[in-house]
Chains A and B, each alone.
Chain A
C-alpha cells in the first residue's frame, strides 16, 4: 500500500489566492482527518469524515476553509481567500475508524506558505 498520499508537498501562493490541498487515503479506511501543524499551536484537528460524510468541522478556523470528500478515495481542503496566517503544514490522515482504535496513518503533509 502506498500509504496516505498528499499533494502538493509544497505550495507557495500569494495572499488572496485560492489554495486546494489534496489527499488520497488508504484504501479501505473509513475515516479521514485534516490537521494543521504550526509552531505556535501544534497539531490541530480541523475536520474529520466518516464514510465520506463530514462529522465534526469545529476545528475549521474560519469560513475561508472548506473540506470535501466526494468519494472514499479523495478529499480536498480549500482555503479561499488565503492569508499569511494560514501558512502551516497541513496533514491528512486516515484510519479504519475515527476512534483510532487501530491508530491513524498520516500523509507526508503539504507545507503551505502564503506571502
Chain B
C-alpha cells in the first residue's frame, strides 16, 4: 500500500520569501500525486496534481511542484509567498485500487 510523509509539521516564512514544502511517498510504481490547501475553517482545495508526463506541474495561486522519482518526492514550491498563503498544506498519493492517502499536513505561517 502507498504511504506519504510530510516531514515538516510547521514552517514559518517571511512574506516575499520563497517556499518549499516537502512530501515523500512510498509506492513501488509511479503513483499519482496531489497537493491540497486548507485555509482556516475551510475544506481542502486542490492546488495541483501529477499523473504522468512533465515532472514539473503548475497549479493555482502560483504554486508548482516537481515529481522526482529517484527521491520519491513531490515537493511544493512558490517563489514569493503572500500573507494569504498561510494555511495547512496536505500532500496525497494515489495508487492501485485504494483511496488517496493523505499526509498529516504542514502548517505554513507567514510573517511580515
Contacts and interface: CB of A to CB of B under 8 A. Distances in A.
State yes or no: do A and B come from one complex: yes
Interface of A: 4, 33, 42-43, 45, 48, 56, 91, 93, 98-101, 103-109
Contact of A99 (B36, B46, B99, B102): B99
B51 interface: yes
A108 B49 contact: no
B99 to A, nearest CB: 5
Bin the interface of chain B by size.
20 to 34
Interface stretch (B70-78, B79-87, B88-96): B88-96
A43 B98 contact: no
Contact of B99 (A45, A91, A108): A45
Contacts of B45: 106
A42 B104 contact: yes
B94 A99 contact: yes
A93 B99 CA distance: 12
Given A100-B92, A101-B32, A103-B34, A43 B102 contact: yes
B94 A101 contact: yes
Nearest to B105: A42
A103 B49 contact: yes
Contacts of B98: 98-99
Interface in B28-66: 32, 34, 36, 41-46, 49, 51
Nearest to A91: B43
Given A42-B104, A42-B105, A43-B105, A99 B97 contact: yes
Contacts of A109: 42-43
Given A48-B99, A106-B43, A100 B105 contact: no
A105 B97 CA distance: 18
Nearest to B42: A108
A100 B94 contact: yes
Given A43-B90, A91-B44, A109-B43, A104 B105 contact: no
A53 B87 CA distance: 34
